[in-house]
Amino acid sequence: MSDKPWGGRFKERTSGAVENYTESISFDAELYAQDIAGSKAHAAMLGRQGVITSAEVVQLLSGLDQVRAEIEAGTFPWRQELEDVHMNIETRLTEIVGEVGKKLHTGRSRNDQVCLDFRLFVSDSLRRWMLLARRLCGVYLKQARANADVLLPGCTHMQPAQPVSLAHHLLAYAWMFRRDVERMADCEKRTRISPLGAAALAGTTYPLDPSFVAEQLGMYGIFSNSMDAVADRDFALEALFCGSVTMAHLSRFCEELIWWANPQFGFVTLSDAHSTGSSIMPQKKNPDVAEIMRGKTGRAYGNLINLLTTLKGIPLTYNRDLQEDKIPFLDTDRTVRDSLALMADMLQATAFNPARMRRALGAGFLNATELADYLATRGMPFREAHHVTGRAVALAEEKGTGLEALSLDELRSLSPLIEEDVYAVLDYDTAVRRRNTPGGTGPEPVSLQMEALDAWLSTPLAWEEHGNRC
């Protein structure tokens, strides 16, 4: 006879190879806090509905508190043969409180139990990501304020395009991470829905109150369809997508830091604490943190594809394939959490080099558009002005100088519309100051961006206002 909790109809023991292959305790033990929180809410509901006595509820809650204390003290006896976090906790609970421990599972299945645990875990992870991403936004905002007057080449196709303020460049990332937070918040609303009460797939005959459990756990609602409740993991997919987009944004900035830290650019100096050296070349200061973070982005993408592939052919309802939902998410959770925290620290410690950025403005004719616009405002059709400016660039390139260094006679040889006032227009600081359209790089829209981001950072997230019951 099998010694498994489900072994009543089995005559033989499960083979050791099968136990090793099918166990999940090696990774789902990370869900212990959510499992215990769900079990406490379920126990309280069973008592409230008269399924168990109030005295039994007290015993169960006390026993579950002891189990949690043992886990967090590192003394809990995890047993692989019990397969998963649920059975490990329930078995130890029964050892502590006696036979009443076996009543805890009344009205539920491991199918709705694991889904509840995982939803709570993913929700809690999303909340951590949101806090970390908001902190990173705050660092971008701080660095933007500190570098409001610094200019650098803005690029398209990795080629110098137009001058922009460093503040504007940094704030572009702040807006990306703000949207990441908004995506996470939207995902969290769909994730924190309780499936408990769906049981194995069809509901239960016990007079349960799923809404009470959801309320106790600070969830936003309950399932609408018991089969859907235990069968889908789209909430985890959505969270993995949110994590992947966040990593993409981190990776893009890592790419820029790697370039900017190269002495040929010299735009930034990374702190020693966030750099490494070479085992053979003593002079090296390598941006390894940024490189590894860029590499870990591919790992997050892989986890998303992993779960998408797992889910694509699973019929209703629960299938054991779904056990494979946790490893990719747990990995992405650690990756996103660590990357956001580390980037905030690294960016905070990064020193920018305004002089090198200013020097770079002189290479690449970043004021060419200013000349074209200057001619257009004097009545020349923009397409013609574009061609005239192109000839001016060719002339400056031939002479090995910038547009602003061409003489007035040289410029007027290209168009008689050009007057002495053109040099004020070609000034890089002027070019930036003039771009005051909404969202532009000029001082006014940049200041408005900072105000908007500051107001957003000062506003608590919706779940922060109501508290996290788990």
**Catalytic site positions:** 157, 278
Read off the amino acid at residue 365: F
CB 163 within 8 A of CB 404: no
Three-state DSSP at 89 gives helix
Which sign, positive or negative, has the C-alpha torsion 260, 266, 267, 269? Answer: positive
- Tell me how far apart the alpha carbons of residues 449 and 458 are, in angstroms, rounded to a whole number: 14
Cis peptide before 317 (omega within 30 of 0): yes
Give the helix/strand (H/E) hosting 292.
Answer: helix 288-311
Long-range contacts of 52-57 (CB under 8 A, 24+ apart): 52/100, 52/103, 52/106, 56/100, 56/103
Cα-only R_g, the chain: 30
Three-state DSSP at 266 gives coil
Q: How far apart are the first and last CA of the chain?
A: 39
- Tell me how far apart the alpha carbons of residues 254 and 250 are, in angstroms, rounded to a whole number: 6
CB 182 within 8 A of CB 209: no
- Tell me how far apart the alpha carbons of residues 259 and 287 are, in angstroms, rounded to a whole number: 9
